[in-house]
Amino acid sequence: NAGVTQTPKFQVLKTGQSMTLQCAQDMNHNSMYWYRQDPGMGLRLIYYSASEGTTDKGEVPNGYNVSRLNKREFSLRLESAAPSQTSVYFCASQVQYRGFDGYTFGSGTRLTVV
């Protein structure tokens, strides 16, 4: 099925561990995004990638790194997880076509850092 696929869906990490959240889209979209969602905070942008090979910081980039190796995939890495990074993470991709801003979200990754 076409869309945005995120893995894993759930993860528990110990403080200091590292992990990579994977995101892939098969819609040939140029732009991809990583958000975190915390209670009462809405969706906050961590990093985004306007095209293959480019990445830019969003609102809350500290503690994260990203990689856009090809057009399909945009991964988010936590090098040394902290309890403050407990959150739900969403990947999204975007196409702008004839003035239409279409965003598609993945189903999310619920991360708990203990």
Partner 1 sequence: EDKVVQSPLSLVVHEGDTVTLNCSYEVTNFRSLLWYKQEKKAPTFLFMLTSSGIEKKSGRLSSILDKKELFSILNITATQTGDSAVYLCAVVDDKIIFGKGTRLHILP
Nearest in space to 27 (alpha carbons), one of 81, 72, 57 = 72
Whole-angstrom Cα Rg for the chain: 14
Is 44 a residue that touches partner 1 (CB under 8 A)?
A: yes
Q: Which of 34, 64, 74, 90 binds partner 1 (CB under 8 A)?
A: 90
Q: Which of 82, 107, 112, 114 binds partner 1 (CB under 8 A)?
A: 107
Residues 52-71 touching partner 1, rule: CB under 8 A, are 58
Is 48 a residue that touches partner 1 (CB under 8 A)?
A: yes
Q: Give the interface with partner 1 as residue ranges (CB under 8 A).
A: 33, 35, 40-45, 48, 58, 90, 94, 99-108
